Amino acid sequence: MIKKTFPIVGMHCASCKTLIEDVVGELTGVKNVMVNFATEKITVEYDEDKVNIEKLKKAVASAGTYQMVYTPSGTTVLASPPEVEKMSMEHHNMHHDEENSDQHDHGIPLDEKLRNELYNNLKRRVTLMGLGAIPFLIYMFWMAFGMKFGLPELSKILPNVNFLQFLLATPILFIGGKDVFVSAWTAAKIKASNMDTLIALGTGTAWAYSTIVTFFPQTFSTTLEAGGEVYFEASVFIIFFILLGRLLEMRAKGQAAQAIKALLHLQAKEAIVIRKGKEIRIPVEFVMVGDTVVVKPGQKFPVDGTIVEGSTEIDESMVTGESIPVYKQKGDAVIGATINKSGFIKYRATKVGADTLLSQIIRMVEEAQATEAPIQRLADRVSSVFVPAVIIIATLAFAFWFTTSIPFATYIAITVLIIACPCALGLATPTAVLVGTGKAARHGILIKDAEALEIAHKINVIVFDKTGTLTKGKPEVVDYEPRDKTISSLLYSIERRSHHPLAEAVVSYFEDSTSLTPSSRRESRGGVKELEVSSFKDHPGLGIEAKINNKHILVGTEKFLRENEINISGDFDKKINDLRHSGKTVSLVVVDKAVLAVVGIADTVKEDAKETLSKLHDMGIKTMMITGDNKITAQAVAQELGIDEVLAEVMPADKSKKIKELQNIRHSELVSESKRSRNEFGMTFSNKRQIVAMVGDGINDAPALAQADVGIAMGTGTDVAIATGDIVLVKGTLEKVVQTIKLSRQTLAIIKQNLFWAFGYNIIGIPIAAGLLYPGFGLLLSPIIASVAMALSSVSVVGNSLRLKYQ
């Protein structure tokens, strides 16, 4: 089984989604198929031995007026309406040599180009239809207000006014709205229905009835009212407003999908590489792994790599969401699409093309946007039976009002068919997910699927791994007490010979890493100098031994000192005990049998850790820490950060078991404080299964991240754990955990608003259109007003989703 996602061009209703899913899903060898209406993509999981691309193409084509355009590179299956077919054929003829590429016309994806052409084509048609509708607008105003302004009756000036309306309305309806009727007919041939079925029935009925009245006025003579009323203007305005709504919807959906386009535009178009000793400028697609790339101040890094010459500050905000430039020097990794702010850099390309971080981010966001949130399933079930249900309601309404008058019954049936709109239901969730995941990506938060985005709003416990997540993952000197200044130079000189992490922490303590260069290391913090070491010996797990200026020096643990029969001075006892009880690692410095310094080393907490945990508490979320460290060290960190509960001395393999245990605890058992029962968002938690999130490094914590309801992987630079966790934070800042949960809650609020409007619109609109309020209140909807409401219902849902961008 393989799983592929392909773009779709020309989808215009939620019923199209259901129709394509049903037809493709019936193919032998297709295990699963999902169409996302908002992103216009189809994801198919299928067996290549039983079904191939050609069969998929035929299946999509049989679902309606769709044509599949496929490129052998395996990323593009296009389902396009009739006007796109011609365009795609022109593409095939003009770019025959490029048919194996998804990029055409200087990097514009083929599906995007066809989508733009479809939009422009629809814009032209809507403009022409609008001009053609002007006479009908004049006619409507004349009929409604002519008498008030003293105008003569129109029938006296134009005795054949109905015939003139017929001549104007027919081409507008059947040429301008051709796609609607072709789509409805094609669906009918396979015994299916879609949104176009309702529109075609409604406008077609209005036109057919009006045509009969025009040419055979006696047909309904026994029931005619007002001398033979016709609905040509209704059919014209209905098709006009519906296509105008689709145009606005396409534009709004395009705005909602700006995140992917923005990411694509971040990529540098060219690169300067050194080949055969010369600098040459080439398209970024031709950069190869191992190339030496030159980047000057103000230019973008074209691909990922490692600096081999120079130093600079780099703006990584477009990838990580962090606004402060990052200092990089030789040996540091750089990310493609980031901006070189100051220095002249040469670097070796390590990842190119689809392997770069930016490409991974784009791929991940696209995949997330193509998924469905669980909350969408109800809307999908309703959409699948919506069109047949509306046809039945329209038929029943016609039958009910038939005894009153055929024109009136026809009027009611047309209004019911036109006002019904499954599109708002189909767009309610995916447009919000589209905007939400795009917004998250701009802030360096990669959400792998819509389900993770939805579940995140229900999180009530977050378990943090300690090392590298809450802490920096790198030991630092936090306390240093020497007897005199000369000890510092001795200690610094010895530790520089060792590669142990604790030794590196001591060296870093004495060096200012942002300004001290190798040539200036002779003078370090507090005037510390590097001295010549005459002998050096490492004792693994204990410490190091060396000689400087004939002085015998030991640096290490208390056990190391005892083995060397060193008596620890009583003056240091209190200091050592304080450090030990606060979870610090203690290192002692001995010179000629005398203890002359004590060093406290710890994995320090991240600067934003305490503030982040405080914000999570304010949101009603319980915080926990899981670690393999001893209880003393773990409790010291927890106390410093204000963590609610600690799980210490837990082996990596057991972390997932602990997560599972937490998931089985009822929320009321875990959070007893009444102040936690309601958070700043006004959300309350009932006595339900705990929703647990795990935050870890994405590598060592993989099983725990997988077990958690939401796994959040902390990425660092180019080593983002793309394959691990439901949510990946590109740069491991804890504040993004808070941002993720807030964004999830905002997105779910938008989705619920959209669904409320979409369901409410249809639940209220359809009965009113059927004449429910007419007997008691005389309230009746016009088919034209119904078409405006239907068109705006979809646009309003997309517009509401776009609010997420600015929250």
Whether 674 has a pLDDT exceeding 50, the answer reads: no
Q: How many CB atoms lie within 10 A of CB 155?
A: 12
* Residue-level pLDDT at 484: 81
75/359: higher pLDDT: 359
Neighbouring-strand partners of residue 544: 538, 555
Segment (H or E) for 711 = strand 710-714
Q: Which residues contact 84 (CB under 8 A, 6 or more apart)?
A: 9, 10, 67, 78, 114, 117, 118
Q: Is the pLDDT of residue 114 over 80?
A: no
Question: Do residues 161 and 213 make contact, with C-beta atoms less than 8 angstroms apart?
Answer: no
pLDDT band at 619 (very low <50, low <70, confident <90, very high): very high
Q: Which of 179, 380, 465, 644 is catalytic?
A: 465
How far apart CA 554 and CA 303 sit, in angstroms, is 47
Instruction: Tell me if 617 sits within 8 A of 737, measured CB to CB.
Output: no
Mean pLDDT (whole number) for 364-380: 74
- Rounded to an integer, what distance in angstroms lies between the CA atom of residue 427 and that of residue 748? 14
Rounded to an integer, what distance in angstroms lies between the CA atom of residue 233 and that of residue 724? 58
Between the two ends of the chain, the Cα-to-Cα distance in Å is: 41
d(CA 746, CA 92): 44
Identify the pLDDT of residue 614.
Answer: 93
CA distances from 660 to 455, 536, 713 (A): 17, 49, 18
Spatial distance between the Cα atoms of 393 and 413, rounded to a whole number of angstroms: 8
Report, as an integer, the average pLDDT of 257-286: 83
State the pLDDT confidence band at 730, using cuts at 50, 70 and 90. Answer: confident
- For residue 636, the surrounding DSSP H or E stretch is helix 631-641
CA pair distance 283, 123, nearest whole angstrom:
35
For residues 348-360, average pLDDT: 87
- The predicted model gives 779-802 an average pLDDT of 84
* Residue 612, pLDDT score: 92
Q: Is residue 698 very low, low, confident or very high in pLDDT (cuts 50, 70, 90)?
A: low
Sheet holding 585-591, edge to edge: 471-482, 594-605, 585-591, 551-556, 543-548, 535-539
Cα–Cα–Cα angle for 195, 198, 203, rounded to 5 degrees: 125
Residue 521 has pLDDT above 80, yes or no: no
Question: So what's the pLDDT on residue 407?
Answer: 83
Inter-helix orientation angle 783-802/735-769, to 10°: 170
Three-class SS state of 725: coil
CA 651 from chain centre, in angstroms, equals 34
The dihedral built from the CA positions of residue 637, 639, 643 and 649, taken in this order, carries a sign that is positive
Q: What pLDDT score does 692 carry? A: 93
Average pLDDT for residues 35-62, to the nearest whole number? Answer: 82
| CB within 8 Å of 645: residues ≥ 6 apart | 622, 623, 624, 625, 638
* Confidence (pLDDT) at 669: 52
Highest mean pLDDT among 39-43, 79-83, 358-362, 735-739: 735-739
- pLDDT single digits (tens) 745-760: 999 999 999 989 888 8
Burial 275-312 (b: 16+ CB within 10 A, else e): eeeeeeebebeebeeebbbbbeeeebbbbbbebeebeb
Instruction: Write a three-state SS string for 134-163.
Output: HHHHHHHHHHHHCCCCCCCCHHHHCCCHHH
Q: Which two tokens stand for residue 684?
A: 């309350």
Helix locations, 190-339, DSSP H: 195-215, 232-256, 258-266, 317-320
What's the alpha-carbon Rg for the chain, to the nearest Å?
35
Q: Give this prediction's pTM.
A: 0.71
Residue 549 CB: number of other CB atoms within 10 A? 11
CA distance 455 to 437: 14
User: Which one is predicted more confidently, 225 or 218?
Assistant: 218
Short-list 40, 41, 21, CA closest to 32: 21
Mean pLDDT across the chain, nearest whole number? Answer: 80
- The side-by-side arrangement of strands in the sheet containing 326-328 is 326-328, 312-315, 339-340
Residues near 451 by Cβ (< 8 Å), separated by ≥ 6? 371, 372, 373, 374, 726
Is 304 annotated in the active site?
no
3-class DSSP string for 530-548? CCCCCEEEEECCCEEEEEE
Q: Say yes or no to pLDDT of 105 above 60.
A: no
- The answer to whether 236 and 202 are in contact (CB under 8 A) is no
- Sole residue written with tokens 């503030």: 611
Residue 473: half-sphere exposure toward Cβ, Cα within 13 Å: 13
pLDDT at 539: 85
Pairing of strands 471-482, 461-465: unpaired
Select from 636, 644, 641 the least CA-distant residue to 612. Answer: 641
Alpha carbon of 81 to those of 163, 210, 736, 766: distances in Å? Answer: 32, 29, 42, 29
| pLDDT at residue 736 is higher than 60 | yes
Q: Tell me the residue type at 154.
A: L
Tokens encoding 733: 């800042």
Both tokens of residue 376? 């969408």
336 within 8 A of 301, measured Cβ to Cβ: yes
How much is the pLDDT for 644? Answer: 93
DSSP one-letter string for 396-412: HHHHHHTTT-HHHHHHH
Question: Which stretch of DSSP H or E encloses residue 123?
Answer: helix 110-145
**CB-based contacts of 103: which residues, under 8 Å, 6+ apart?**
109, 110
Residue 338 has pLDDT above 80, yes or no: yes
Supply the pLDDT for residue 750.
Answer: 93
